[in-house]
Amino acid sequence: MLAAVLERTGQPLVVDEVSIASPGPREVLVRTAAVGICHSDLHFIDGIYPCPLPTVPGHEVAGVVEAVGSQVSEFKPGDHVIGCLSVFCGHCPHCITGRLVLCATPDVKLPPGTAKRLSRGGEHVNQLLQLSGYAEQILVHEHALVKIRPDMPLDRAALIGCAVMTGFGAVVHSAGVRAGETVAVIGCGGIGLAAINAAYVAGASRIIAVDRIPAKLEFARSLGATDLIDASAGDPVAQMREIVPGGVDHAFEAIGLKQTTEQAWQMIASGGTATVIGMIPPGVKVELHGPDFLREKKIQGSLMGSNRFRVDAPRIIELYLQGRIKLDELISQRIPLARINEGIEALRDGNIARTVVTFDGVA
C-alpha cells in the first residue's frame, strides 16, 4: 500500500510503498476512505513532541473494514468505521470508571515503537498514535474503532475521529457547559470551531470566538459564535471583558500556547473553568495569578474531549444529519495522498479549517 512516511522531523513526508501485516486475533484491517490533516500531526512532524522514526502520521481517519482477526466479533468486512486514538482496554480502573481516554493498558495502547504492523523494504516502520492514517490501509486494535451507519459520508465522518470529537467533548464532557452559560474559545482551527459549534448546540448564551484571522472569525460566527474578537487588534482579555464584564463561565484554549492558556485563565469569572485543549509543548510552564484560586476559579486539561467515542461518535453523526453539528463547512479542501505535503503546509499557514486526504475507490 501507499503511505506517507515521516523519515526525519522538519522534513516533508515521503509517499512510499509500505507493507502492512495481516490482522492479529483482536485486530481489524481497514481500507482508508479519508483522513484529516490535524494540527496535532504537526507537533510530531516538526519534532515538538518526540516519536520514534520512521513513522506514518495521521489519526483522524474513517474507512471500510476489509478483514478482521479471529477473536473480533463486533466488526465484519464492509462495515463503515471511524478510528480514534483513544483506544481502550475496557477493564482497567480508568475504563471501568468511565474515563476511557486515560486508558494506558500496554497490550491495547501499545507504547511508541512497539507495534509490528508496518514495514518498508523489510525494515520496521512505526505506527503513530495507534492508527497511522496517512495510508491506504490501517491495522488497529478493535477497540480503536466505532461502527457507524453506512449512509454517513466518510470524508465528513473522518473529522469526528479527532477535531470534532475533541472540541465537542471538551464542551460537553470535560467542561459540562450548560444552557445559558457564557463561553470563550481561543483559537478557531478545526478543534476550536468544533468547540464553538458544540457550545451552540449545548445552549450557551454567549459564545465568544477569539482568533487573529478575520476569515476564521466569520466562519466561527456561522457555527454559532455570538461575538468575535480579533486578537491582533489588542488585548483579547480586555476585549472579552467589554463583552462580558465579569468574565465568562467557561474559556477553552484550542491552540496550545503558554500565552493563550494564561489568557483563558484571565477570561473566566469567579467560579469559572478554563479548559486547555491545545497541546502545550513539553517543558513549557504556565503562570497563573495565585489569588484567583480564592475565587474558586479552575483550570483543567482535556484529552480528546474526555470522549466515550463509541457512544459519542454515533450521537455526533445524528446531530450532523439533523443539521445541528456542522461538518461539511469544516472541510476547506480535499486532496489525494500524493499532495499530503501541500495539505500540511496549508495547515501550517493557518488560513484553513481542515484539509482532508481522500482515497479513490472507497465509499
Q: Does residue 363 carry a pLDDT above 80?
A: no
Tell me if the domain spanning 166-303 has CATH number 3.30.565.10: no
Q: How confident is the model at residue 361 (pLDDT cuts 50, 70, 90)?
A: low
Q: How confident is the model at residue 166 (pLDDT cuts 50, 70, 90)?
A: very high
Name the H helices within the chain: 39-45, 93-96, 154-160, 163-169, 190-202, 214-222, 236-243, 258-267, 309-321, 340-349
The pLDDT assigned to 362 comes to 60
Q: Does residue 63 carry a pLDDT above 80?
A: yes
Of the ranges 149-163, 166-180, 324-338, 345-359, which one carries the lowest mean pLDDT score? 345-359
Domain boundaries, given as residue ranges, for the chain: 2-161+326-358, 166-303
Beta-carbon contacts of 355 under 8 Å, excluding residues fewer than 6 positions away, are: 36, 37, 331, 332, 333, 334, 335, 343, 346, 347
Tens-digit pLDDT profile for residues 12-30 = 999 999 999 999 999 999 9
CATH for 2-161+326-358 is: 3.90.180.10
**What do you get for the CA distance between the two ends of the chain, in Å?**
18
* Average pLDDT of the chain, as a whole number: 96
Q: How confident is the model at residue 352 (pLDDT cuts 50, 70, 90)?
A: confident
Q: Which of 207, 205, 129 is nearest to 167 (CA)?
A: 207
The pLDDT assigned to 11 comes to 96
In the structure grid, which three cell numbers stand for residue 89, read together? 482496554
Query: Contact at 8 Å (CB) between 198 and 171?
Result: yes
Tens-digit pLDDT profile for residues 85-122 = 999 999 999 999 999 999 999 999 999 999 999 999 99
How open is the CA angle 259-260-263, to the nearest 5 degrees?
90
Other beta carbons within 10 Å of 315: 14
